[in-house]
Structure 1
Amino acid sequence: MYKNNPNISIPDPDTVVWKYLDLSKFLDLLMSQKLFMSRSDKFEDQYEGTFSEPTFEEIKKIAENNPEFLDVYKTQRKNVIISSWHINEYESFAMWQIFTQNSEGLAIQSTIGRIQESLHLENQFEQHIGKVNYIDYKKEYIPFDDDFFPFLFKRKSFQYEREVRIISNLSSHNLSINEGVKIDVDINKLIEKIYIHPKSENWYKNLVIQLVKQLGFDFNIGKSDLESDILI
């Protein structure tokens, strides 16, 4: 279930967020009614869940007399799971390019408030929501008085992601996590609107609409602003 963490910066409930994904992942979400959360050390960014240089220097000093202190953070990366969302009032051309291929894919539009409501089911694990901070890892400090802080900071080169995360720490559950974990969500609360790739062909759009209908959902499927008619 969703649990508020006073240490974590959470955007306003009305903040619009997006998730861009291919059709297979979208159908898996609808059919399982579970949201996939990836193991943090499986992301492309090798710095995921690590510390900036100033923080690491401080941690090393602490670890001199307590070697296990550093080991805790190393193993934690395998036990923290994350679902990433993009903050933007409008859909993003860049996100379409990065997260979809061959002019196919979908974008889920939601809000922070809807995500919070969708996580109110009796999940086995606690979920937290936090906005990612983008910093200079050579100069800026990452606090480590909360287990989630290393996973809510990224290098400035990732600023374009404008990321907010659903995040869980499963360290106390003694699980062997491979790629990630699926958690229960209320799909109808989670999804406010769906957009189909703006460059997709009509057969693909019709296929998505038909599949959504056959699975028993009645989502608002909108036309992408990126395929609007040109006015001259």
Structure 2
Amino acid sequence: MYVHHPNIKLPDDPDTVVWKYLDLSKFLDLLLSQQLFMSRSDKFEDQYEGTFSEPTYEEIKKLSENNPEFLAHYKSQREKVVVSSWHSNEYESFAMWQIFTQNSEGLAIQSTIGRLQKALAVEQNFEQYIGEVNYIDYKKEYIPFNDMFFPFLFKRKSFQYEREVRIISDISSKNMKINDGLKIDVDINQLIEKIYIHPKSENWYKKLVIELVSKLGFGFEIEKSDLESDILI
């Protein structure tokens, strides 16, 4: 279930458009299970994920001198926080197609902040928060650590192009161990407003996606991305 968090910043407008770029197998898994996969935060490629900037780390080190458990707690927390990443943008992104899909195959889910919030209402076991990622200079800027979620809502400035919005959950109270991540129940019809198919995909691929979605009983709109539409001279 989605829970509002006073310290986590979100766009004011619930109609703010967000995207998730993924391959067909992950998309099918989402539809068949009606569950959204959330990755363990220390499994992302970015090794800084869930860590602190240098000024913050120095302060935590001082606090840990007489209390070594303090630092150990923050390190172990990365295994207990799970994240689903979305890209905030009014339009689809050429860069995101290149980064997150391969071989001219793949698709993009278009949704909104408000839809994400409603889609999470069916999950009863875990609480989810949604927040915008802040992009900072890890050598100079300070990440507050008075809230457990803050390390997971800051990234280095070089990732700014991601314009990331995160669904985030803390499972530390559940006394469970997870390997790569966790699946949470979602209302697929709320989660997905529209599907865009890879701009360089073949027609058979578009037909395949339309047929699969129809056979699984979903009725959302499916379009081919227009990033590769015919050039008019």
Would you say same fold, with TM above 0.5? yes
* 2:195 counterpart residue number: 194
Q: What one-letter code is carried by the residue in structure 1 that aligns with 2:129?
A: H
Q: Residue 114 of structure 2 aligns with which residue?
A: 113
Aligned to 2:144: 143
Displacement of 1:199 in angstroms is 0.4
For the pair 1:207 / 2:208, whether they are aligned, the reply is yes
2:61 is equivalent to residue 77 of structure 1: no
1:100 paired residue number: 101
Pairing of 1:42-57 with structure 2 (within 5 A):
42-57=43-58
Unaligned stretches of 5+ residues in structure 2: none
SS in 2 for 1:141: coil
What is the root-mean-square deviation in Å for CA atoms of aligned residues? 0.7
Distance in 2 of aligned mates of 1:64 and 1:94: 44
Q: TM-score, normalised by structure 1?
A: 0.99
Q: CA deviation at 1:176?
A: 1.1
Taking the aligned partners of 2:193 and 2:79, their CA distance within structure 1 comes to: 32
C-alpha distance in structure 1 between counterparts of 2:124 and 2:98, whole Å: 33
Matches within 5 A, 1:143-182: 143-182=144-183
Residue-pair matches, total = 232
- 2:175 maps to amino acid: N
- Write out the 4+ residue segments of structure 1 that deviate beyond 6 Å after TM superposition: none
Q: Tell me, yes or no, if the aligned pair for 2:123 and 2:184 is still in contact at 8 Å.
A: no
Deviation at 1:225, TM superposition (A): 2.1
State the partner residue of 2:2.
2
Higher alpha-carbon deviation: 64-73 or 32-41 = 64-73
Structure 1: which amino acid aligns with 2:187? D
* TM-score normalised to structure 2 length: 0.98
Which residue is equivalent to 2:26? 25
Percent of aligned positions with the same letter in both sequences?
Answer: 81
Q: Which residue identity does 2:171 align to in structure 1?
A: L
Which deviations, in whole Å up to 9, do the C-alpha atoms of 1:126-162 show, x marking residues without a partner? 0000000000000000000111000000000100100
Structure 1 runs not aligned, ≥5 long: none
Is residue 2:69 matched to residue 1:68? yes
Displacement of 1:113 in angstroms is 0.3
In the TM superposition, residue 224 of structure 1 has moved relative to its aligned partner by: 1.2
Q: Hey, what's the Cα distance between the residues in 2 that align with 1:180 and 1:17?
A: 22
Deviation for aligned residue 1:226: 0.5
Q: Deviations over 1:168-203 (max 9, x none)?
A: 010111111100000000000000000000100011
TM-aligned CA deviation for residue 230 of structure 1 = 1.4
